[in-house]
Structure 1
Amino acid sequence: MFTGYGTRAKASDEVDFFLPIAVHYPVGRPIGATSQGETLPKPQLFTPLKIKGTHFQNRLGVSPMCTYSAPSEGDSVGFATKFHEIHYGSFALRGAGLIIVEATAVRPEGRLSPEDLGIWSDEHARSLKPIVDFAHSQGTKIGIQLGHGGRKASGLPIPLHVSKGARKGEDQGWDTVGPSPISYDEEQFPAPHELSVDEIKEIVLSFKDAAKRAYDIAHFDFVEIHGAHGYLISEFLSGLSNTRTDAYGGLLENRARILLEIVDAVKDDEHPLFVRISASDLTDETKAWTLEQAGELALLLEDHGIDVLDVSDGGNYNKARRRPQGPASQAPLAKAIRDKLHSRGTQTPILVASVGGFHSGVVAEEKLQDKSADIILSGREFLINPGAAIRFGQDLGVKISSAWPYEWSYEYPALTQDQVTPVPEAQV
């Protein structure tokens, strides 16, 4: 826990080892101009945010990214390890306003790969608690993405293969489930078992139980429901993967039913609730999920009381167009949905987060200023540089508070071009 200010290194009381905390301000708070120049108006990216009773130091977050690093066999399948503590701790020390832990399965068969994290038991939640404790030691807010892989579960880790199922009995794979018995890719993934209504109800309950563990045992600050990228909830939303004729198929309200039931089961009055969706299936196929439908879903989700809609794209159709590339490439999708929410006239519309192509503070700030989004999430930039929040602040002329050992990053001004000594070419 952040305990105050002072002039000496102070230790956190959240962990059982000496861990210095930020001395002057909580990690992630803007504390003035960089040595580059004069004090500037505070960028919106580094303004605080309050959702329900939770205070975030800034609006730049670490997007959930699978690391495929949990044990896949033995008694600790799906448990978080020291690796995860180090991985997420590196972001917590350096100024991220929020961190979302990677897709974590609410049931064993819901893991995206055999090496994915799980939270289907109290023991799994206890393995995640050290990650939360470390983040809280710096005053950093941290949430967890709860998910079920559906027909794309039991996949090989992406570093090994971009999109291929893990074979049952050979690659530690298992039988998968989905809204309809339609394979994601007949050459790489088997057709899933079609869920019965009773089985759907069990999955909804699994999300509820997982959220309770996340709060009561691991002490996460918020949860995000994973409804994107072609995993179970996303499969229900799209007509390409959902051909049901019962209460969970057909009209949009029916295809969205499982997600809305999960939202109703998980939400409470204390914790912010995030939901991630794909804005489209990235195809012109007749039954595909579209941006227009995503906008209608956003209104339904607002009616059901979510707090943040995290807008991504694609993942449900193996022949889809490639996602747009470049700076803030998916921001237009977030803006379209945000505009639809605000056109409704609600006094306090839900917040919208944008992800994809945020590699500088300037681009992130632009997308907040033009009202494309209220929160910016970055993934690969944090993988490349865990101090991306500090770097984004420097892009905008703002110094961001970080943990004591990293305050050194501001001690020396960056060299101007005429101060750089050229490196001689290597002599062969």
Structure 2
Amino acid sequence: MRIAVIGGGPAGLYFAILMKRDRPKARVTVVERNRADDTFGFGVVFSDQTLDSFRVADPPSYRSFTESFAYWDDVEVHFGGAVHRIGGNGFCGCSRRALLLRLQERARALGVEMEFRREAAPEDFPDADLVVAADGINSPVRERWRDHFAPEVDLRPNRFAWMGSTRPFDAFTFFFKERPEGIFVAHCYQYEAGASTWVLETDPGTFARVGLDSMNEAASARFMEGVFREELAGHRLLTNRSHWRRFPMVRCARWTRGNVVLLGDAKATAHFSIGSGTKLAMEDAIALHAAFVAGGGVPECLARFEAARREDVERTQHAADVSLVWFEQLRRFRRFHPTRFAFGLMTRAKAITWDNLELRAPAFVEEVRETFAREERARGVPADPARPPAFQPFRLRGMALPNRFVVSPMCQYSAEDGLPGDFHLVHYGARGMGGAGLLFTEMTCVSPEARITPGCTGLWNGAQEAAWTRIVDFVHARGETRVVLQLGHAGRKGATRLMWEGMDRPLPPERRWPTLSASALPYFPDSPAPREMTRADMDAVKADFVAATRRAVRCGFDMLELHCAHGYLLASFLSPLTNRRSDGYGGAVGSRLRYPLEVFDAMRAEWPADRPMSVRVSATDWADGGLSEEDLLAIARAFAAHGCDLLDVSTGQTVHDSAPVYGRMFQVPWSDMIRQETGVATMCVGNITTADQANTILAAGRADLVALARPHLTDPMFTLRAAAQYGVPDVSCPVQYGWGRDALMRNMAREREDLRDLRLKARPSRHAPDPAPRRAAE
């Protein structure tokens, strides 16, 4: 087999090593444009998990380049005059130059041909069976066939520069330094004796204000020495092409073309705040080698590589995206208590959570718990420092909640003529006995014409009022759970089929009712067009909301929510994608807000002053031309000024061709933004599935309440089970279930200790014996 590798960085070299080792008869050539010992930057960092993958892939190279590694278990955070040292992380640093030279040494010993100071292109190897383009972030091979590989480059706003120092470290260290011009960050780690990497970062405004854009490399180093004078402790900053740059997040639609495959930074990048591009590149090499181990021809192996590797790369890039955005938005957290700031930093990328931090660094998590409770007590909430955040009480006006868990609003599409029946009594009753602090109804419609589907619940007549009263009374009689009525109007998304018969698809003509919207735009191209609302329509619909509010008061609901999300009627006024009006209710966000605020004001006037109100918003439309961040913040501030106590932050469903990016807790960043930028209390939703995630979100200050939907569908006792998991003994449940709760508490306490022991025993060892390497199929 003839293999040509263009690019002699870690990705290309490591793949060449693995293939030459397992196919000694193959001719493997690596061509590099730089000299053999050229390297830019200083050190790289790997986790214990990454080191384990290197150890398995090629034990000799692992032993070689780990001889000079600097190891540490701790992360140290310097912020706000405090230092937090958080253990149990498991990282190591390595010199970039040493890593390259050791890989070259291993490759040379195996018989890999290496050429330096030569530019190469695929056509230079006409006899090659495989061409690996590991030619870096500006890959000429990728750019040559740009239309095929379809790269997208997201150039991030923050500025950063790689520098070095002789100052030693015994932990991965973050310094956050605030000056009148703005905030500077230093990401620091030792990579060998007497040598450390300093990745310096700041936002574009600060960068411009201090004049770094006009300084040369030496001048910028001297300036940053002044910023971090105390932290450098007498040491200097060293440079090596330490130019200030913006990080390019690279993604490619395709990684292969014929016998050519992109590897490392040429195909995908990941921000330095979660590790290094070197880690991603070497893991790429391992994955490409594994694809050839499985056998088959080159096309089959390359297809196997891309299919198997893409999910891992995209997961890493998603974590990197979340992490880099945290640093970009640093000003939002500058007033945080140092302990909660450090917790937010540690959990920013979602891989580290409350539970695994409690295992790794129990003293730190105990400090977070105490800080959370102390800050809540300062706000008048009777918080208990012995409890995790999700089990701390919360108050909105006169409504007191025993914990922060919320049963999310979930349409059941099971009513007849808007009337909640036995299904609803069992559904809400069961979840109302499960211990959650707050229970939402599904979107309940204010008139027959306001329904999404024929199965939607309503509150426009006496029978419905009586049915809802029965449900609310049942829940109130059996625990401490409070009940929220969510009121809405479907607008242009009305007169559609039940969800399981075709979500948002229109009913047959003979079963439809007329629909209204801000503008006469159908949801799907083949959906009936709604009528653009007139002033008379606005008055009539507002009157329906007011009538339903009066009924809700008599039903005994504890809280009322106005649905202004998901493309329904009031949301259609808020989004520029659905509001094309030319009158005073269209155009700028202040005008688009007018009608939703009119409805909210009319409801607030009828709703008791001691009971809270919330508003559900779609924070983004996931579509070009939709709501901007500025729009969203204006909407949040306006509702708060009109008496809204809580923003229920969801996203999307405004237009049929939106392109949401799903993932764990994927909507939480918008809750975080609204909470930090406006000071309004928020509830987050969206693929939140565990109590661990809820504790993480709350402790990091990203929301005040956490709503879970699908977990509550399959487990009405979700909160009670979570209470047992965390040893919280007094979550309410019906007296009839008390014996079961007590048994659950005892059993979960034993399971918790057993699991803790297993996790401690399963911690990776750096000194485990080397495994036998896998061999590639000849």
TM-score of the pair, normalised by structure 2? 0.45
Higher helix share: 2
Distance 1:301 1:362 in 2: 31
Which has the higher Rg, Structure 1 or Structure 2?
2
Distance 2:704 2:619 in 1: 17
Distance 1:191 1:54 in 2: 41
Aligned pairs for 1:143-182 (under 5 A) are: 143-169=484-510, 172-182=511-521
2:693 to 330, 352, 363: 363
Is the alpha carbon distance of 1:366 and 1:388 closer, same or farther for their aligned partners in structure 2, counting shifts above 3 Å?
A: same
Residues 465 and 551 of structure 2 are in contact (CA less than 8 Å); yes or no, is this contact kept in structure 1?
yes
How far residue 56 of structure 1 moved from its aligned partner, in angstroms, is: 1.3
Residues 361 and 391 of structure 1 are in contact (CA less than 8 Å); yes or no, is this contact kept in structure 2?
no
Residues 361 and 396 of structure 1 are in contact (CA less than 8 Å); yes or no, is this contact kept in structure 2?
no
1:241 to 578, 586, 593: 578
Q: Which residue of 1 aligns with 2:531?
A: 193
Residues 94 and 406 of structure 1 are in contact (CA less than 8 Å); yes or no, is this contact kept in structure 2?
no
Residues 496 and 503 of structure 2 are in contact (CA less than 8 Å); yes or no, is this contact kept in structure 1?
no
Aligned length: 364
2:673 to 313, 327, 336: 336
Q: Which residue of 1 aligns with 2:713?
A: 383
How far residue 304 of structure 1 moved from its aligned partner, in angstroms, is: 0.6
Deviations 1:382-403 (A, max 9, x none): 0011111123323433233322
Greater shift in the superposed pair: 107-116 or 393-402: 393-402
**Paired AA for residue 158 in structure 1:** M
Q: Which residue of 2 aligns with 1:35?
A: none
Three-state SS of the structure 2 residue aligned to 1:405 is: helix
Distance 1:84 1:149 in 2: 20
Distance 1:97 1:67 in 2: 21
Structure 1 unaligned segments of length 5 or more: list them. Answer: 1-37, 72-76, 343-349, 421-428
Distance 1:134 1:197 in 2: 40
Distance 2:671 2:420 in 1: 32
Distance 2:707 2:494 in 1: 24
Q: Which residue of 2 aligns with 1:59?
A: 404
Q: Which residue of 2 aligns with 1:124?
A: 464
Is the alpha carbon distance of 1:110 and 1:418 closer, same or farther for their aligned partners in structure 2, counting shifts above 3 Å?
A: closer
Q: Which residue of 2 aligns with 1:353?
A: 683
2:428 to 88, 92, 114: 88
Residues 712 and 718 of structure 2 are in contact (CA less than 8 Å); yes or no, is this contact kept in structure 1?
yes
Is the alpha carbon distance of 1:191 and 1:393 closer, same or farther for their aligned partners in structure 2, counting shifts above 3 Å?
A: same
Is the alpha carbon distance of 1:418 and 1:388 closer, same or farther for their aligned partners in structure 2, counting shifts above 3 Å?
A: closer
Three-state SS of the structure 2 residue aligned to 1:191 is: coil
Distance 1:417 1:182 in 2: 55
Is the alpha carbon distance of 1:405 and 1:358 closer, same or farther for their aligned partners in structure 2, counting shifts above 3 Å?
A: farther
Three-state SS of the structure 2 residue aligned to 1:413 is: helix
Three-state SS of the structure 2 residue aligned to 1:160 is: helix
1:220 to 557, 576, 579: 557
Find out whether 1:314 has 2:652 as its counterpart: yes
Q: Which residue of 2 aligns with 1:20?
A: none
Residues 519 and 531 of structure 2 are in contact (CA less than 8 Å); yes or no, is this contact kept in structure 1?
yes
Distance 2:424 2:678 in 1: 36
How far residue 209 of structure 1 moved from its aligned partner, in angstroms, is: 1.2
How far residue 418 of structure 1 moved from its aligned partner, in angstroms, is: 12
Q: Which residue of 2 aligns with 1:373?
A: 703
Distance 1:359 1:99 in 2: 16
Q: Which residue of 2 aligns with 1:302?
A: 640
Identity %: 33
Deviations 1:123-152 (A, max 9, x none): 321121111011110232101100000000
Distance 2:473 2:756 in 1: 45
How far residue 417 of structure 1 moved from its aligned partner, in angstroms, is: 6.8
Higher strand share: 2
Q: Which residue of 2 aligns with 1:22?
A: none
Residues 168 and 175 of structure 1 are in contact (CA less than 8 Å); yes or no, is this contact kept in structure 2?
no
**Paired AA for residue 518 in structure 2:** P
Is the alpha carbon distance of 1:418 and 1:97 closer, same or farther for their aligned partners in structure 2, counting shifts above 3 Å?
A: closer
**Paired AA for residue 307 in structure 1:** D
Q: Which has the higher contact order (CA 8 A, sep 6+)?
A: 1
Q: Which residue of 2 aligns with 1:274?
A: 614
Greater shift in the superposed pair: 398-407 or 196-205: 398-407
Distance 1:48 1:419 in 2: 31
RMSD of aligned Cα (Å):
2.0
Residues 104 and 144 of structure 1 are in contact (CA less than 8 Å); yes or no, is this contact kept in structure 2?
yes
Is the alpha carbon distance of 1:246 and 1:359 closer, same or farther for their aligned partners in structure 2, counting shifts above 3 Å?
A: same
Deviations 1:188-217 (A, max 9, x none): x2110111011112111211111110112x
**Paired AA for residue 173 in structure 1:** R
Distance 2:502 2:586 in 1: 32
Is the alpha carbon distance of 1:134 and 1:250 closer, same or farther for their aligned partners in structure 2, counting shifts above 3 Å?
A: same
Distance 1:323 1:231 in 2: 21
**Paired AA for residue 410 in structure 2:** M
**Paired AA for residue 93 in structure 1:** M
Deviations 1:13-61 (A, max 9, x none): xxxxxxxxxxxxxxxxxxxxxxxxx998211211112211111111111
Deviations 1:45-95 (A, max 9, x none): 111122111111111111110000001xxxxx1111011010000011110
Deviations 1:282-334 (A, max 9, x none): 012x3x123331111101111111111100000111111134222x2211110
How far residue 224 of structure 1 moved from its aligned partner, in angstroms, is: 0.6
How far residue 113 of structure 1 moved from its aligned partner, in angstroms, is: 0.5
Distance 1:96 1:299 in 2: 28
Greater shift in the superposed pair: 152-161 or 79-88: 152-161
Find out whether 1:397 has 2:714 as its counterpart: no
Residues 78 and 118 of structure 1 are in contact (CA less than 8 Å); yes or no, is this contact kept in structure 2?
yes
Distance 1:168 1:254 in 2: 34
Three-state SS of the structure 2 residue aligned to 1:358 is: coil
Structure 2 unaligned segments of length 5 or more: list them. Answer: 1-365, 367-383, 759-778
**Paired AA for residue 368 in structure 1:** L
Distance 1:86 1:300 in 2: 38
**Paired AA for residue 142 in structure 1:** V
Three-state SS of the structure 2 residue aligned to 1:318 is: coil
Residues 279 and 312 of structure 1 are in contact (CA less than 8 Å); yes or no, is this contact kept in structure 2?
yes
Q: Which residue of 2 aligns with 1:42?
A: 387
Q: Which residue of 1 aligns with 2:663?
A: 325
Distance 1:401 1:324 in 2: 34
Residues 542 and 602 of structure 2 are in contact (CA less than 8 Å); yes or no, is this contact kept in structure 1?
yes
1:183 to 519, 522, 534: 522
Distance 1:418 1:310 in 2: 35
**Paired AA for residue 467 in structure 2:** S
Distance 1:45 1:295 in 2: 26
TM-score of the pair, normalised by structure 1? 0.81
Is the alpha carbon distance of 1:323 and 1:406 closer, same or farther for their aligned partners in structure 2, counting shifts above 3 Å?
A: farther
How far residue 419 of structure 1 moved from its aligned partner, in angstroms, is: 12
Distance 1:129 1:235 in 2: 31
